[in-house]
Amino acid sequence: MNPARRFKIFETLSKVTPNPTTELIYQSSFQLLIAVILSAQATDKSVNKATSLLFSKASDANQLSKISLAEIESCIKTIGLYKTKAKNILETAKKIYSQFNGNVPNDRKLLEALPGVGRKTANVILNTIFNEPTIAVDTHIFRIANRINIAQGKTVFEVEKKLVKLTPEKFLRNAHHLLILHGKYTCTARNPKCMSCVIYELCEYKKKLI
């Protein structure tokens, strides 16, 4: 895909969604971190239900580090892999409270050293909380990047590197959320809504449909 077409795609998506952001509900950087840990292999809707209950009992790292593992499990038991995630959440809360005075660190290595936090989760926090020009490649972004040919790659990391390199600087800050939202509601995995897609005329996937 040539740079002009790629620029127009992001420009069009930005006009439709001028203030893209996560659909996870949170009141602090710590709450978003916990929500993103929970979101692996789970929908935002299911995570929001679980965190609503969890944060009503413990809203910050100090409080969450002091409740029992069983209590955390009971709050998030509707989430897949909830037992493992509960352990990670408890340990992460303890580390955030003891090592960083309850504040989520603005540092990739420190974030990835937390239990349950990998590169994708760290990218979400760096982008959403600290306004870093990072792109967390989830299933939606991986699918779209390859499908419409804005950044093709065989692995998540390969797609991430290409997107960061090829996305016009003007849109790099919001590219993560623009692509996720487009993938959730328009460029879906099955039966993408091509006929109502705002970037249909720019998309290279349509060539395969003709």
Catalytic residue ranges: 120, 138
Residues 13, 7: Cα–Cα separation, whole Å: 10
CB atoms within 10 A of CB 194: 14
Residues sharing a CB contact under 8 Å with residue 158, sequence separation 6 or more, in sequence order: none
Tokens 């593992």 -> residue: 69
Residues 12, 58: Cα–Cα separation, whole Å: 41
Residues sharing a CB contact under 8 Å with residue 154, sequence separation 6 or more, in sequence order: none
Written as six digits, the tokens of 154 are 């065989």
CA 113 to chain centre: 18
Residues 69, 87: Cα–Cα separation, whole Å: 7
Q: Which residue type occupies 189?
A: A
Written as six digits, the tokens of 161 are 């590197």
